[in-house]
Structures are given as C-alpha cells and as structure tokens.
Structure 1
C-alpha cells in the first residue's frame, strides 16, 4: 500500500499544495517551523480523519478560511482510488472513490498508517492515557467494528458519569443507574476483550523485534493492565461478570467522586524487559528500544491483518535514535514500506535507503523536489 499523491487546500500554512510521492522513501528537509510536519500530519489526517498533534480540528484550517481540504490517491493491491477529507468549523466530511461516507468508522482503514514521532518515544514512560490511545488507534485501523464499539462505549460512559455527577446534588431514580451500568458493562467487556486479543498479537511481534534489536540480550513482555481477575483467556461474559462485581463494590465511592472508576478508560499497558518494569527501572536506551519495537510490531501486525504493508511516517525521529537503532529501523522498512521522513538534515544518516529517497525541500510553506540532494 502506498499514497501516490496529495493535494492540500487551506491546510495549516499551505494555501495550496500538490505533491507526487515515491512508493518507497520520501524525505522532507528543512528548518523547524517551515511546514515539514504539516505535510506529515496531512497524510496522517487523510488516513485517520484527525491530527496526531491536536484534538481541535479547527487548528487544521488556515487562518481566516472556512475549511481545509486534503485529497490523495491511495494504491492498494486491488487498485488505486481517491480519498478526501474536508474539515470545516462545523465538522468533517469524508469520501472514498468520490462517494460520501456516512460514518467515520466506514472511512478509517482505507489507508493504514503508522506514525513514529518524538513523543512516541515516551509511550513507555508517558501517561496511561497515551498508551490507551495507542491501543485504540491501532485496533481501529484494522477493525472498523472496534471503532464503532469504542464510540458506543464512550457515549454510555458519558451518560453514566453524568448520572453520578448529578446524583451528588439531587435525588435521581437508582433504577436508571442500573440501566446505565448494564449497558456499560456489556460495552466495556467487549472493548477489554478486543484489546487483549490485539495485545497478544502485538506481543508476539514486539518480543521478536526487541530481541533482534538488543542482539539477543533482552526479552520484552507486554502486559495489559486491567482488573486482576481478568486475563487474556477470559471470555466477554466472564469479563462482564468481573466488572459488574467490581462496580457494585465501588458504588459508594463512585457516588462520592461523581465518576465511573472501573473500566477500559482506566486500564494501562506495562512493559517488562528481562522481568524489570521498563517504565520505572529501564534505561533511556531500553525505553527507546521498547518504543521502536512497538512501532515496528505495528507494521508487521497490520501487514498480517490486511495482507499489505502500512505507510510509515517518521516525523523528526531519526535524530532521536542512535546509529544502531536508526540502521535497524531503516533496514526493516527498506524496499517494502512506503516511508515519509522529516529531518533538518540528512547529514549523519549513512544509509542506502535515505540516499535512494525522493527528496523535498521545505521553506516557509513552499515544498520543492530537491533532485540535487539525491544526486550528491
């Protein structure tokens, strides 16, 4: 899978931009704050309908404009077709092959991307919210039904939280909470079950890759952290039973706090290298190797599930990796994964993959193909 071209209109600092890409490696070179990451973000947004940098869609629209438009042609094993995302101040519209999509969950998955940015190096030591988002984004790309389930879960969670919040100040019918709880448990159990299935697959790939990067010295184990009675072998019904029991135990505390305290929105991931918690005891090198292993495992997992390699977006991340990890990453993607790289300079990146890339120079929102850098 690869993206053949992209067109931007009123997007960030690009009034209008049209680019054609190599199906292999594309490198965007320029100083900071010139617009390199905006191109990367646009490719990500075309795939995922949202930015990896902000939750406020209005920030994608150029100053004093009413909308931003991203269009691109995606090549998959069954042919090429256009994708379109239009972001307005009222909402978003998506099209696949010129046909308007009724739901975002019907659109996501048409083009699969894996983003690796400096903040992803902190997936190990960052907040649990960051790791939950990582899980949800990746499952959503390979399973549109999961996205639908997740939206349903968030809707029910919001209703239940609102009831608990209101109950602190006024008398409400307790039967209504029972109704919300029953719906909540069924939805939450499905989410947790799907996450366990995904993490089992990801663990298989990540452990193998981590062992390779560490030259056989380290073993990586990923654990999905939820209620201790729930395991990867638990059925949806068993998960629901555990959640029901725990919610009954926590009922008074939830009323006191005015919020739901049990469920997938509270879960987390744990990473262990040679049985040590990497988040707490791992060196910076081990944490970075773990993050890199996760990203490369994402690529392999998406390939396994869709029978096509996803598009890899490396946003200013090569400079954050030492020579060995940099070479491992570039060797892994060589010739198979369409890759986009942003960097301030290719100096110091001694790898044939970069030398064979299609080069673009970015300055003040203007992008030009730089053939001279390739020839050198």
Structure 2
C-alpha cells in the first residue's frame, strides 16, 4: 500500500490542505499545535473509517459544518480513491472509487497500517483492555472476517450478562453459553496465532533496530484455557454460580490479556522505564512485519529515542512507506545525520 496524496477540508485545524507523499520515508516537520497529529488522524480516518481518539463530529473544524477527506492510495498497481464526509447532523459517508462503504471491515481488509503515538509507550503499563484492543486490531488486519466475530461475541456477552442480572430459568442460559463458547474459542485461537507471529517479529526489531541483547517474548494469557470449543464451554459452565452472584460473565476472551517478558520476566513488573518504552515501540514497529506492505504512521517517535536508535528506526522504515512527524527543527535533524537525500520533507 502506498498513500500518494490526501486532500483535507475542515478537519481539525486544517481548513484546506493538500499533501503528497512518496514511497519510503516522509518526514513531516512543524511546531507543536501546527497540525502534524491531525494530518495523521486524517490519514487514519481514510484507511480505517474512524478516528483513533474522537467521535466523528468532534473532528469537524470549529468554524465549519462538515469535514471532507479525499485520499489516493495505490495497492497492487491499482488506484483507490477514498472519499470521507461527516457533518454536524452526524451524516457520514465513506466511498471507495465512488462505491459506498457499508462496513468499516471493507477498509481494514484493503488497507494495512501501523499507527504509533507517544501514548503507545504505555501499552505494557496500561489496563488489559488496552492490550486487548491493540491485539484485536492486529487480528482484524490479518483476518478481516474476525471483525464480525468480535461484534457477535459482544452481543452474546451482553445477552448473557442481562440474563444473569435478571435470573429466571436456568436452562435458558445454555443458549448463551453455547454461542459464547463458539465465538470465544474462535477469538482465542486467532489471538494466540497472532501473538505468536507478533512475538517473533518483535524479537527481530528488538535485536536489529534497538540492538538489545536481552530476550523479549509476547505471551498470550487467556482467562479460559481450552484446546477445543467443548472444553471452553465446560470451563464457562463451571463459572455459572460465581457469574450469577456477580451478575456478569467473569471469564472469557473479554478478560484475556497478553504479557511482555524481558529476560523471561514480566516487563510490567521488573523492566526499567527505558526498556518498557523500547519494548512498546518494538511491538508497534513489529506489527508492520505481519503484512506484505503496510504504511507506518509514526507520531513523534523520535522524542522517545536517542540518535543511534532513530537512525536504526529510519533504516527499518525504508522497507515501507512511513509518514513520521517531528517537532524538531530541520537543522537539528540534519546535524544528527537523520535527514538523507531519500527522505521526503513535508513542512507544516
């Protein structure tokens, strides 16, 4: 995937802007509050159909009634024209080559991307739900059909929880248990497959980019250990009395997590702040290796690294299309040896 250009109208602080990008590294320079992150958010919206941090209507420029985005994306020698429109009446329209997109999975299936922001370095320290959200996005990018499985699981979970709160007939809950077991087992298996791939890719980045000699591993931690749908069902059944007392489903893939181990010890518990930050960056960069061709959207990643590691990150980025933002002055980056002739500079 190569993002060739994007036109932005009334999106955040961008009234009317047109940006062109090249294959390889694109370095977006600008002072704080100049719109660097907003540019990445606009790109993200085009390839994902939503923002990574705000409701659609809140993306509209304060002085406007709508926003519009137009992106040109090349993939497998074919050009996709992506059009996005949202107004203050919450009307939303996304089109690819003038054909309406009905499901966001259509975008995720076509366009592969990695998005990194400074908050991403908190991945290891944050709540399990943050890691689940990250992992499920990786699963969805590899297996787009799983998006519906995630949605169906949430519906089944809500139905089971509602039943637990208004318990009436014990035999009825088996309907929910069967459905939850089927969907939960599917999700657990795909998460496990994905975390294994991501763990291997993270090791490559850890050793090659950060030149760290310690070991790093990603390990899936399911709340229900099972080797079959039947076993998952039986484990869920064992929780019934506890679930009834609490009024919600206490175990299942909605409670799963994954652990990051450095030298076989939990990074969250034993690693230094510096190691945790590098591990988080390594995980995000490694996710690009799971796909044949993805675009890297890296917001202010330089601020987390010293000059040598910055150079190594840029070396990895040369294998992809990367759009990297920085608040540093151009002269400072040149003196650090970070700006080469093959880097496309975009000044805000």
SS of 2:320 mapped into structure 1: coil
8 Å contact from structure 1 (residues 213, 289) kept in 2: no
- Post-superposition Cα deviations, 1:49-99, rounded to whole Å, max 9, x if no partner, equal 121223x22211223644322220101123212112233443643222211
Q: 1:287 aligns with which of 256, 276, 279?
A: 276
> Whole-Å Cα distance in 2 between the matches of residues 354 and 128 of structure 1?
40
- Post-superposition Cα deviations, 1:223-261, rounded to whole Å, max 9, x if no partner, equal 00013633xxx3xxx1x2333223222222222222221
8 Å contact from structure 1 (residues 86, 92) kept in 2: yes
SS of 2:111 mapped into structure 1: coil
SS of 1:259 mapped into structure 2: coil
8 Å contact from structure 1 (residues 72, 83) kept in 2: yes
Task: State the match for 1:187 in structure 2.
Answer: 183
Task: State the match for 2:15 in structure 1.
Answer: 15
- Post-superposition Cα deviations, 1:147-169, rounded to whole Å, max 9, x if no partner, equal 1211111222222222223x1xx
Q: 1:343 aligns with which of 302, 326, 330?
A: 326
- Could you state the TM-score of these two structures normalised by the residue count of structure 1? 0.85
8 Å contact from structure 1 (residues 330, 353) kept in 2: no
Tell me, which stretches of 5 or more residues in structure 2 are unaligned? none
Task: State the match for 1:373 in structure 2.
Answer: none
Q: How many residues align?
A: 344
Alignment of 1:95-134 (within 5 A): 95-134=95-134
Task: State the match for 1:86 in structure 2.
Answer: 85
Q: CA RMSD in A?
A: 2.1
8 Å contact from structure 1 (residues 25, 354) kept in 2: no
Alignment of 1:1-376 (within 5 A): 1-54=1-54, 56-63=55-62, 65-88=64-87, 89-90=89-90, 92-165=92-165, 167=166, 172-213=168-209, 215=211, 217-227=213-223, 229-230=225-226, 234=227, 238=228, 240-303=229-292, 309-334=293-318, 336-345=319-328, 346-349=330-333, 350-353=336-339, 356-362=342-348
Assess, with a 3 A threshold, how the Cα gap between structure 1 residues 135 and 81 changes in structure 2: closer, same or farther.
same
8 Å contact from structure 2 (residues 295, 320) kept in 1: yes
- Could you state the TM-score of these two structures normalised by the residue count of structure 2? 0.91
Aligned structure 1 segments of 4 or more residues deviating by more than 4 angstroms = 352-355
> Whole-Å Cα distance in 1 between the matches of residues 68 and 346 of structure 2?
21
> Whole-Å Cα distance in 2 between the matches of residues 354 and 95 of structure 1?
37
> Whole-Å Cα distance in 2 between the matches of residues 15 and 348 of structure 1?
29
8 Å contact from structure 1 (residues 47, 109) kept in 2: no
Tell me, which stretches of 5 or more residues in structure 1 are unaligned? 304-308, 363-376
Assess, with a 3 A threshold, how the Cα gap between structure 1 residues 61 and 258 changes in structure 2: closer, same or farther.
farther
- Post-superposition Cα deviations, 1:181-233, rounded to whole Å, max 9, x if no partner, equal 21111111111111111111111211232233453621111100013633xxx
> Whole-Å Cα distance in 2 between the matches of residues 356 and 208 of structure 1?
24
8 Å contact from structure 1 (residues 25, 353) kept in 2: no
What is the CA distance between 1:343 and its match in structure 2? 1.4
